[in-house]
Amino acid sequence: MRRINIGIHGRKCMDEMPFEIVERKGKGHPDYICDAIMEQAAVNLSKEYLKRVGVILHYNLDKGLLVAGKTQVAFGGGKVIEPMLLVFGDRATAKINGEEIPINDIVINAAKEWIKDNLRFVDPDEHLRYQVEIKEGSEELTDIFRRGKKVLGANDTSAAVGYAPLSKLERLVLDVEKYLNSSEFKKLYPETGEDIKVMGYRVKKRATLTIALAFVDRFIESERKYFRLKREILENLNEYVKEKVDFRVKVNINTLDKRGRGVYGVYLTVLGTSAECADCGEVGRGNRVNGLIPLNRPVSNEAAAGKNPVSHVGKIYNILTHKLADDIYKSVSGIKEVYVWLVSHIGQPINYPATIDVQIIPERGFDIKAVRSDIEDVINSELDGIYDFCMDLAHGKFSVC
C-alpha cells in the first residue's frame, strides 16, 4: 500500500494572489545552455547503454559548468578572442564486460549536436573548448544497478514538488520567451540572439515584464539602428502580449541601455549569448523542470538536468510531481490548483515513495471525499507504470528546462 495524504491547501490560487514573480531563462542563457547540454548528454549516454546491454547503468551528469569566453563587440561585427569552456563533471559507468564506453566522445558530441541545433552563431568546434571530468561511481551506488530489478531503488533520499495549472503570468512569461526564440520571430528579427531572459512580476491586475534580449553585432551598424530595432521589437511584443492576458502589462527591453555611449551603452553580442564573455553558466541555476523560476511557488531542491532517469529521484520525482499534478487537475473536476509532493528513501523502490502528499485549492462546493479515490487512482496508475515513464525520460521525451 502507498501512503497517500490528500487535503485542502489553505491558500488562494496563484491568479488570486495579490503579488507574483516569475522568471524564465531562454535557450541562449548560459544556465539554460548547461542544463540542456547535460540533459542531451544524459539522453545520448542512456541510449548507448540500452544499445550495448539493454539496460541503463549508473551515471549522473548533473555537474556541468560553462565558463565564459572573451569577445570584442563592434558595430557591424566584432570578434571572438577566447573561446568558452564547457566542463562535464560527476560520474558514469565507463566499462561493460571489459569493453570501454567512449564517455568523452558521447558527451562532447552531444554538446556539439545541441549547439548546432539551437545557437545559430556559435560554432561548437571554434567557439568552445571541452573538459571532461567524469569518473567512475561509488561501489554502493553502482550496485543498485546490479540487483537485477526492473524498477530500481532510489539512489538518494530526496523530495520534489509539482503543481498545476500554470498561472496566467507564468504562462505569459513562458510564451514570451518561446515567441522571442521562435523561428517566426527570428525571421522577422534575425538581429536578435538566443540569450533571452524574461522577468515578470504582477501586483494585483498590473504586470511588468523586463526582458534582456541579446542583439548580434554583425547586423547592427550603428547605435541608431540598435535603438530603432529595439523600438520595433517593443511594439511587436506589446501587440503579442495584448492578446495573451486580461490584465495590463508593461514591457521593458534592455533597461541598462544608454544612448550616446556607443557599444558600451547597448546590449551587443558577437555570438548571441552572454556566455561569450559576460556570464558563466551552471547546471541547476536555471529554470525548474516546468520551464520557469516561480518565486511564489514551492520548488524542488534538486537539479534534474543530466541525472540518471531510472534511479535518481532528483530527476524522476521532479518531473513526475508536475505530471501527477497536471493529470489530477485535468481528470478531477472542481479543482482550481493542485500541488503534489513526493519523498524518497534511498534504496526504496522508486514506485513506492516514502510519502505522497496532495494539496488541493478547490472550487466552491468541492467535496474532497467524493474524489479521493479518483486522485488515488491517478497516482497509483502513474507509479505502477513508472518503468515506462523512466524510459520516456531516458529518451528525452520530457523537457527539464
Q: Are 88 and 39 a contacting pair, CB within 8 Å?
A: no
DSSP 20: E
Query: What does the alpha-carbon distance between residue 133 and residue 144 come to, in Å, rounded to a whole number?
Result: 23
pLDDT at 63 over 70: yes
Contact status, residue 109 vs residue 44, Cβ threshold 8 Å = yes
- Those residues whose C-beta lies under 8 Å from the C-beta of residue 140, and which sit 6 or more positions away, are none
Cα distance between residue 100 and residue 7, in whole Å: 51
> What pTM value is reported for the model?
0.95
The model's pLDDT over 78-115, given as tens digits with 9 standing for 90+, comes to 999 999 999 999 999 998 888 899 999 999 999 999 99
**Distance of alpha carbon 123 from alpha carbon 84, whole angstroms:** 11
Q: How far is CA 127 from CA 61, 136, 254, 281, 353, in A?
A: 22, 29, 25, 15, 44
**Whole-number pLDDT of residue 87:** 98
DSSP SS3 for 225: helix
pLDDT digits (tens, 9 = 90+) for 189-203: 999 999 999 999 999
The residue among 46, 24, 136, 133 whose CA lies nearest residue 85 is 133
Name the residue with cell 520557469: 292
Distance CA 235, CA 207 (A): 17
Could you say which DSSP state residue 339 is in?
A: E
Mean of the per-residue pLDDT values for the chain? 95
180, 192 in Cβ contact below 8 A?
yes
Strands 281-282 and 268-269: unpaired
Q: Are strands 268-269 and 79-82 parallel, antiparallel or unpaired?
A: unpaired
In order of 55, 316, 349, 350, the CA distances from 147 in angstroms are 12, 19, 12, 14
How would you classify the pairing of strands 19-25 and 59-60? unpaired
Neighbours of 121 (CB within 10 A): 17
- The closest alpha carbon to 386, from 289, 313, 288, 307, belongs to 313
> What integer pLDDT is reported at residue 217 of this predicted model?
98
Residue 148 pLDDT greater than 70, yes or no:
no
3-state secondary structure of 218: helix
Residue 387 has pLDDT above 90, yes or no: yes
Which band of pLDDT confidence, cut at 50, 70 and 90, is reported for residue 139? low
| Helix, strand or coil, per DSSP, at residue 220 | coil
Alpha helix locations (H) across 102-157? 103-118, 139-143
Domain ranges of the chain: 15-25+168-281
Question: At which residue does the C-alpha cell 529595439 appear?
Answer: 230
| pLDDT given at position 45 | 97
Long-range contacts of 323-327 (CB under 8 A, 24+ apart): 323/162, 323/382, 323/389, 323/398, 324/162, 324/378, 324/379, 324/382, 325/162, 325/163, 325/164, 326/162, 326/164, 326/165, 327/378, 327/382
CATH topology of domain 15-25+168-281: GMP Synthetase; Chain A, domain 3 (3.30.300)
User: How far is the C-alpha of 305 from the C-alpha of 64, rounded, in Å?
Assistant: 9
Helix pair 386-394, 313-331: axis angle to 10 deg = 120
Other Cβ atoms within 10 Å of 2 Cβ, number:
14
The sign of the torsion formed by the CA atoms of 295, 299, 301, 302 equals negative
Nearest to 68 by CA among 237, 251, 273, 275: 275
Label residue 276 by pLDDT band (50, 70, 90). Answer: very high
Q: At residue 141, does pLDDT exceed 70?
A: no
Instruction: Find out whether 89 and 64 touch, Cβ atoms under 8 Å.
Output: yes
Query: pLDDT band for position 279 (50/70/90)?
Result: very high
The neighbouring-strand residues paired with 202 are 20, 207
12-26, 49-63, 210-224, 253-267: the lowest-pLDDT one:
49-63
Largest CA distance in the chain: 69
Contact 197, 181 (CB under 8 A): no
Is residue 209 within 8 Å of 198, Cβ to Cβ? yes
Averaged pLDDT for residues 27-56: 96
Q: Name the nearest CA neighbour of 61 among 88, 36, 43.
A: 88
Q: What pLDDT shows up at residue 229?
A: 98
Per residue in 318-345, pLDDT (tens digit) is 999 999 999 999 999 999 999 999 999 9
